[in-house]
Amino acid sequence: MLHPFSVLHTTIISASDENYKEAVQAAVPLLRAGEVVALPTETVYGLAGNAFDEAAVAKIFGAKERPSFDPLIVHVATRADLARVAIIPEEIQNTVDKLLNAFWPGPLTIVLPKHPDIPDLVTSGLDTVAVRQSAGKIFRAIGKELGSPLAAPSANRFGRISPTSAHAVMRELEGRIPLIVDGGACSEGLESTIIHVKAGEKRPTITILRPGPVTKEMLQNFGKVERPKRSSDGEGMTAPGMLPSHYAPRTPLLLLADPSDFRPEPGKKYGLLSYTGEPGKGYVSLHRWSAVEALSPGNGKLPEAALRLFHLLRKLDEAELDFIVAEPVSEVGLGVAIMDRLRRAAATV
């Protein structure tokens, strides 16, 4: 069900070093009063509310127009808080400890059996909860001061491009939320990797439900890593709420597997989301593009491409084009997460 919302005045407050305290002091009372606040994390901006407060969680779903079947990630400020949110089964305790030692705080979300104190609304009625500890300094400072874990999905309207700056959150949620804490641009730019861990006879199995900054290669030391089985149409739901179509610009996006697949319609304006932006390489020389944006200008580096992906998709989406053409990147390391987001941005169903 969608929740009606009255039009609010949305304020942006800077969380720069000089203004850090003020930002914490502005956000915490709102969260304590059951409001929702957009906060920067190292991955993308999140729309945060007290995870134990069902009314606050309902406001998150309302502001995003998010369907209630899509569960939220709960963010803990300290590792000790994990026990307030989830119950770690004995047989995976050791593996979970090792993973958290290696990747927390950071862009790794782990799906665990849920603690009864977490409202069913947070988990869409599932008996598991997705938990992470963000490396974002201001995010954790606010969580600590509040004293409660924060439920926080990406701070965009449902199905749209995730925001990696306070300005992008404003474009998505102005009038729907009271406050955006501006911590500058996110340092990862892509949402966290979501995993599920299962005990195995020899080694545990780690299933990647959503690829992200913590890559398959990085997880391989901790167990046998797999992607969930795909359904017969080849797309598959990897995690509840991970619909094939997501991260979608309003402008139709074409992800071409091969330059020879490009047949432009006459009179239409095409923009290119290139990997390197170098003429003579990739797709740049293929057409007289109305706009070209490069994910990683010059050399083509995947971390830089990941960092800039949502920002440039949003920029091209606002450039009044008829189509955006995205050039694929190689599917290794971070390239897996980038291609996952590009495929979902291109899907129309």
Chain positions contacting ligand TXA, by CB under 6 A = 41, 43-44, 46, 70-73, 107, 109, 111, 123, 126, 128-130, 134, 152-154, 191-192, 194, 209, 239-242
Residue 237 Cβ, how far from ligand TXA at the closest point, in Å? 8
Computed over its alpha carbons, how large is the radius of gyration of the chain?
Answer: 20
Number of C-alpha atoms within 13 angstroms, CB side, residue 275? 20
Residue 186 Cβ, how far from ligand TXA at the closest point, in Å? 9
Nearer to ligand TXA, 129 or 225 (CB): 129
Nearer to ligand TXA, 110 or 312 (CB): 110
Residue 199 Cβ, how far from ligand TXA at the closest point, in Å? 18
Nearer to ligand TXA, 191 or 340 (CB): 191
For 281, the token pair is 């390489």
215 to 103, 212, 218: CA distances (angstroms): 11, 6, 5
For 102, the token pair is 């290696």
Length of the chain: 349
Taking residues 143 to 162 in sequence order and writing x for each that binds Mg ion by CB under 5 A, - otherwise, the string is -----------x--------
d(CA 4, CA 196): 34
Residue 193 Cβ, how far from Mg ion at the closest point, in Å? 14
Q: Which one of Mg ion, ligand TXA, none is in contact with 148 (Cβ closer than 5 to 8 A by kind)?
A: none
d(CA 122, CA 52): 9
Q: Which one of Mg ion, ligand TXA, none is in contact with 324 (Cβ closer than 5 to 8 A by kind)?
A: none
Nearer to Mg ion, 23 or 239 (CB): 239
d(CA 21, CA 130): 29
109, 197 Cβ separation under 8 angstroms = no
Helix (H) or strand (E) holding 198, with range, is: strand 193-198
Q: Which one of ligand TXA, Mg ion, none is in contact with 43 (Cβ closer than 5 to 8 A by kind)?
A: ligand TXA
Strands 270-274 and 193-198: unpaired
Q: Which of 269, 273, 268 is nearest to 256 (CA)?
A: 273
Q: Which one of Mg ion, ligand TXA, none is in contact with 242 (Cβ closer than 5 to 8 A by kind)?
A: ligand TXA
Residue 155 Cβ, how far from ligand TXA at the closest point, in Å? 7
Q: Which of 248, 69, 23, 63 is nearest to 152 (CA)?
A: 63
294, 326 Cβ separation under 8 angstroms = no
Q: Which of 2, 12, 116 is nearest to 61 (CA)?
A: 2
Please name the amino acid found at residue 161.
I
Nearer to Mg ion, 154 or 215 (CB): 154
Nearer to Mg ion, 243 or 291 (CB): 243
Size of the site for Mg ion (CB under 5 A): 1
Q: Is 238 in the site for Mg ion (CB under 5 A)?
A: no
Residue 101 Cβ, how far from ligand TXA at the closest point, in Å? 20
Residue 262 Cβ, how far from ligand TXA at the closest point, in Å? 31
Residue 121 Cβ, how far from Mg ion at the closest point, in Å? 17
d(CA 291, CA 256): 17
Nearer to ligand TXA, 76 or 312 (CB): 76
Nearer to ligand TXA, 239 or 321 (CB): 239
CA diameter of the chain:
63
Which residue has the closest beta carbon to Mg ion?
154
Binding residues for Mg ion, per CB under 5 A? 154
